[in-house]
Structure 1
């Protein structure tokens, strides 16, 4: 039996043992109903693409209309607030990322609570951060970066304050006891342009934002912030291999729902989403987009999310990171 079949069979057996759960799950969703899959980012990004893939599969499986609704803005808070304040009947679900875990520390006065107003459904996939330098940089590998950053001030770009590239740079500084100069941009594309042009020394980048430039010979990838190498760049070592085992950062994507949503509905979403992510076509599509399927059900994802919030809270406070 394949690993995915074992996971799904075990999940099904566990759920079957909960009194009344089976009937409650059968009542949701009602035929002909509409479900909003809220993506708190602009269309076209990886989170949006993954949500649309899952939404289509849910539509096919449940014979209802699952519509992706993009609610960008407020550092991903606008869409999150919408679902946090929605009716707890399963009709709205939220796509979240590492950004939301960091937002807990970055926005202490947010109009909703990630941990109180929303509850975990499932972790779907992760995309490792890729450390890149200009192709003509004297920094040839990750050990060079570690050494050079201790001898002179390096400029590290990011797609904005508090974004995953910024947080990864801050984690590097924390582990290496150095202080790179952070240069925030409005998005990943302009930061890549300046890195290629030599105005920046390094970017701890979102994988999809830099991989094309690496493949095109404009940037050199020197490390992957992951536990294992990536098939798209098999010759690039992990940070663990290159001398910094603590530099593990994946920009993950997951789903949450209004906190008072009944357990039966949450578990139905969780089980179906895990099944979707393990389908061969979705796994392959995720791989092509730079993702690795990293499924976790509601309880396991809840523990993971708690750890991520605590981890980035510490880094944000240590580095004195603010949202602006």
Structure 2
């Protein structure tokens, strides 16, 4: 009787295309937890919370979001890497967690192969901005000024993608861009708006109010593509070819999570981000939708892992 019941359940699952969990039950049968490595208000956190109700609707189970801050996101990443690979524990993984941290924290136990990708979610708009002490109002002008004398630039910390972007700009422009690392973005933005540092590299979401108020002037969007929120602001790569690092995040699962479960969650992510009102909110936050499947995440992560590793080793960058 039990065998007939199990086989009937298996046949029903095959008919619907829904994967089975380890216990033979159709996935999901309980709430799904998504861990984030940064605080409330960070770009990845805001987007994850925006799509959570839609994921709930698509998957039929509650979505619980838990921010575990510390060690540049490594604490959250390590928790997910060690979790049971059953689809119920996921990571809102930024490019810094996947591409940069394995080089900065080699003993953390977290590497690229600690996870399997589910789907890319959005970019995280990173912007080079000028404060009142900036020597020019364009990125070209700032870099030209740095070839004549010292220009300071602030970032939320050593080893962050923002720092790596600044170092790539310094190397390619052959100017005197001097890095001022902060412990987080808030203190850096305060010094930037008060003229203590000339330019900064910031996440658009928390800085958008200051940008719209004219207190910070956007000079370039980090990466290879312009932001829908700032269509007239060039991408850094348009100004300085080869400076390709930007910001993005993807949903990841512990290594070993079944492909069928990953595909089901990926389909739910597509549905969650598809509604026009969600798209409009993403644009307002400076977080354009990233499309593609697991292979797109693998390619993004591997390219950034290699590029970041080269810079970190060559410049002997260490987290502060």
Q: With structure 1 as the length reference, what TM-score do the two structures score?
A: 0.86
Match of 2:285 in 1: 289
Contact kept in structure 2, 1:274 and 1:297, CA below 8 Å: no
Partner of 1:251: 247
CA pair 175-128 structure 1, distance change in 2 beyond 3 A: farther
- 1:74 CA displacement: 1.5
In the alignment, is the contact (CA less than 8 A) between 2:228 and 2:286 conserved in 1?
Answer: no
Q: Distance in 1 between matches of 2:270 and 2:228?
A: 23
User: 1:299 and 2:295 equivalent?
Assistant: yes
**What is the aligned partner in structure 2 of residue 63 from structure 1?**
60
Alignment correspondent of 1:108: 106
Q: Which moved more, 1:172-181 or 1:256-265?
A: 172-181
1:68 and 1:76 map into 2 onto residues whose CA distance is 15
1:24 aligns to what?
19
CA contact (8 A) 1:130 1:210 kept: no
SS at match of 2:196: coil
* Aligned pair partner of 2:146 in 140, 145, 149: 149
Q: Structure 1's 21 and 105: CA in aligned 2 closer, same or farther, altered over 3 A?
A: farther
In the superposition, relative to structure 1, how do residues 24 and 138 fare at CA in structure 2: closer, same or farther (>3 Å)?
closer
Question: Are the aligned partners of 2:227 and 2:288 in contact in 1 as well (CA < 8 Å)?
Answer: no
In 2, the alpha carbon distance for the partners of 1:104 and 1:138 equals 36
- Residue 21 of structure 1: CA displacement? 9.7
Instruction: Give 1:224-239 correspondences, 5 Å limit.
Output: 224-239=221-236
User: Structure 1: any 5+ residue segments left out of the alignment?
Assistant: 1-18
Cα deviation code 1:101-122 (max 9, x no counterpart): 2101111111x23322211111
- Find the aligned partners of 1:146 and 1:292 in 2 and give their Cα distance: 27
Partner of 1:35: 32
Q: Give the structure-2-normalised TM-score.
A: 0.87
RMSD value over aligned CA atoms? Answer: 2.1
C-alpha deviation, 1:44, in angstroms: 2.4
**2:190 equivalent to 1:193:** yes
Larger Rg belongs to: 2
Deviation string for 1:249-286 (max 9, x for gaps)? 32101111010111111111122212322232221221
Query: Contact 1:124–1:296 at 8 Å: present in 2 too?
Result: no
The structure 1 residue matched to 2:219, chosen from 202, 219, 222, is 222
Q: Is the 8 A contact 2:58 2:272 kept in 1?
A: no
SS at match of 2:269: helix
Question: For the structure 1 residues 321 and 34, does the alpha-carbon distance in structure 2 shift closer, same or farther, using more than 3 Å as the test?
Answer: same
1:70 positional shift: 1.3
